[in-house]
Amino acid sequence: MLALAGCQSSGGNKNVLDVDGKQTPVPPPPSDKVKASDLLAYCPRVTLRDGTAYFNSYARGGQDDPAKLIYQAAITEVSRDCSRANGTLTMKVGVAGKIVPGPLGKPGAITMPIRVVVTHGDEVLYTKLHKDQVQVADTSAATQFVFTDPSVSVPEPSDKGYQVLVGFDEGPINAAKAAARPVKKKVRRVVKKPAPEAPAKPKGSQSSISDIPR
């Protein structure tokens, strides 16, 4: 009787575990595919590029010397606005910040190099360097500034992998200035060699007016 009870108990467990061939349906894993409705509402976030939130300007020969600092610009806020038309995503990217005068600060126009970049993985979809001018009137306090790139146009995304980066980028400005300078072409001087003299005629063949018989 004990052995029979054990067999019945085993048979009951077999049905519970579905070892008899019947399998309990397993729900499918969640899909990674982005819905079209989600993409229509997708507006890529704007982030600051590493190490580009500040921009310092020094007097000539005073790089990294606090006493020679003219001003320090800092980006404190970023924003974006998106619109779609004809397969193109157009973004209005905004940057706000402040300019703090240094010991050598003085009133006048300040040019800040601000770059806007849009990437998708390793692919660069958009990049533009702007030279934003800000008038500083009071050197005893910080000056607020607002910059906008209104036409950041990229192909309409098929996923949520777009990344928008902004920040100060002073390197390419110097390169652009150098590229804009006219290149002086070297003019080669062509030295003309004198033409070889014609061989002299034999003296016997020479004649003059006095030799002609009259």
Question: So what's the pLDDT on residue 62?
Answer: 92
Question: So what's the pLDDT on residue 38?
Answer: 73
Burial of residue 39 (CB within 10 Å: 0-12, 13-18, 19+) is: middle
Q: How many residues does the chain have?
A: 214
Residue 77 pLDDT exceeds 50: yes
**Rounded Cα gap, residues 192 and 91, in angstroms:** 64
pLDDT in tens, 98-109: 999 999 999 999
Question: So what's the pLDDT on residue 125?
Answer: 97
**Rounded Cα gap, residues 81 and 45, in angstroms:** 10
Residue 3 pLDDT exceeds 70: no
Chain mean pLDDT for the chain: 78
Question: So what's the pLDDT on residue 170?
Answer: 80
The CATH number of the structural domain formed by 34-172 is: 2.60.40
pLDDT in tens, 143-202: 999 999 999 999 999 999 999 999 999 864 444 343 334 444 444 555 566 666 655 554
Tokens describing residue 88: 């193109």
- DSSP string across 132-171: EEEEE--TTS-EEEEEEEEEEEEEPPSSS-EEEEEEE--H
Question: So what's the pLDDT on residue 185?
Answer: 46
Considering only residues 27 and 37, tell me which one the structure prediction assigns the higher pLDDT. 37
Question: So what's the pLDDT on residue 194?
Answer: 62
Considering only residues 63 and 194, tell me which one the structure prediction assigns the higher pLDDT. 63
6 three-class SS? helix
Task: Provide long-range contacts, Cβ within 8 A and 24+ apart, for 205-208.
Answer: none
The mean per-residue pLDDT over the stretch 62-71 comes to 94
Tokens describing residue 178: 């150098």
Residue 71 pLDDT exceeds 90: yes
68 three-class SS? helix
Q: What percent of the chain has pLDDT over 70?
A: 64
β-pairing, 143-155 vs 88-101, is antiparallel
pTM, two decimals, is: 0.63
- CA distances 131 to 59, 134, 147, Å, are 19, 10, 10
pLDDT in tens, 80-94: 999 999 999 999 999
Question: So what's the pLDDT on residue 48?
Answer: 94
List the end-to-end C-alpha distance of the chain, in Å, as a whole number.
170
Residue 112 pLDDT exceeds 60: yes
Question: So what's the pLDDT on residue 193?
Answer: 61
Domain ranges of the chain: 34-172
Write the DSSP symbol of residue 125.
E
